[in-house]
Every structure is written in structure tokens, then in C-alpha cells.
Amino acid sequence: MENGVYWLRVLLVVLSIIGYGASIAGFIEYRSTTGVCELDGIGSVAVDCASVYEIPQAMLLGRFHLSEIAPIYFTLVGLSAVALWVRLDRISLYALGLLLAIGVLSIPYLVYLELFVARAICLWCTVMHLAIISIAVLWLMLVFRVKRGR
């Protein structure tokens, strides 16, 4: 096993943990309304998680808040990343790819909601978005290396 492929798999796990940590922080912020991520505005947009959490679009199917779904999502991403770290197989690779496709395709809509509906940026959401994009890039690098036999 090439050393580069190993480190890609390790980084997948590390970034999954970062995303999971941000999702838990966002969940705590949502439940307790602590205001931890409130900062002075940047132009016409404020950094205020509570404003993002309060928009109706933050509820999925009218029942589940996105801050409740995010830890589940990152748990699944993390488990898939650990499975890839332990054993590089197609099932784990495809499972993580599917989860990342869902995440990456959701990010533009979620950022739109933050900027134009809530008129606020959620710090925890931004960390999760960056984690998803970073994991997706590493996943693509891993797929290309595996296909080339490295």
C-alpha cells in the first residue's frame, strides 16, 4: 500500500471528526441558544447561528431540524471513513461517495439560505461545509489513486 493512499485515508477520518465536532457544536448551539457563534456583521451579513437556525427552511419535512441531522450525517461519513481506513474496499468507497454527493450537492442551497434568507452566516455550518468539500476532494484523490493502482 502506497504511503500517500494511507495518509489520504487518515485525513478522511480526521476531517470527519472535525465535521462531527462542528455538527455537535451546532446542535448544542441550537438547543441552548448560547450565542457562541455571534460575531459582528460582515457587510450586510451577520455571523449569527441563531438567525440561521430560526428560518423555516432549517426544518426538514417539518419535523427534523438540520442541526439534528448533521451529527447523524457526520457519524455516517466518519464510519465510512474509518471503514476505508481499516480496509480499502468498494463498498466503503461507494458509501462515502454517496454521502459526499448528498453533502456537496446540498451546500449551495444551504449557503443560499444563509446569505439570502437568514442574512446571517453560521460559523458551525461553514466549518461543516468546508469539511464536506475537503473530504470530497480527498475522496476523489483516493479514487483516482486506487484506479491507477497506487
Is 129 domain-assigned?
A: yes
Q: Is the pLDDT of residue 18 over 60?
A: yes
Q: What is the pLDDT of residues 40-71, one digit of tens each?
A: 555 555 677 778 887 888 777 778 888 888 99
The pTM of this model reads 0.86
pLDDT band at 5 (very low <50, low <70, confident <90, very high): confident
* Interval 9-27 mean pLDDT: 92
Is 5 domain-assigned?
A: no
The pLDDT of residue 52 is 82
- How far apart CA 6 and CA 140 sit, in angstroms, is 14
Is 3 domain-assigned?
A: no
* 79: containing domain: 10-147
Pick the closest to residue 9 from 120, 93, 112, 106 (CA basis). Answer: 93
The pLDDT of residue 71 is 94
Q: What is the pLDDT of residues 116-125, one digit of tens each?
A: 998 888 888 9
pLDDT band at 83 (very low <50, low <70, confident <90, very high): very high
Bridging pattern class, strands 120-121 and 39-42: unpaired
CATH number at residue 141: 1.20.1440.130
The answer to whether the CB of 63 falls within 8 A of the CB of 102 is no
The pLDDT of residue 145 is 83
Q: Please state whether 10 falls in left (phi above 0), alpha (psi between -120 and 50) or beta.
A: alpha
Is 84 domain-assigned?
A: yes
The answer to whether the CB of 30 falls within 8 A of the CB of 67 is yes
Is 2 domain-assigned?
A: no
Domain count, the chain: 1
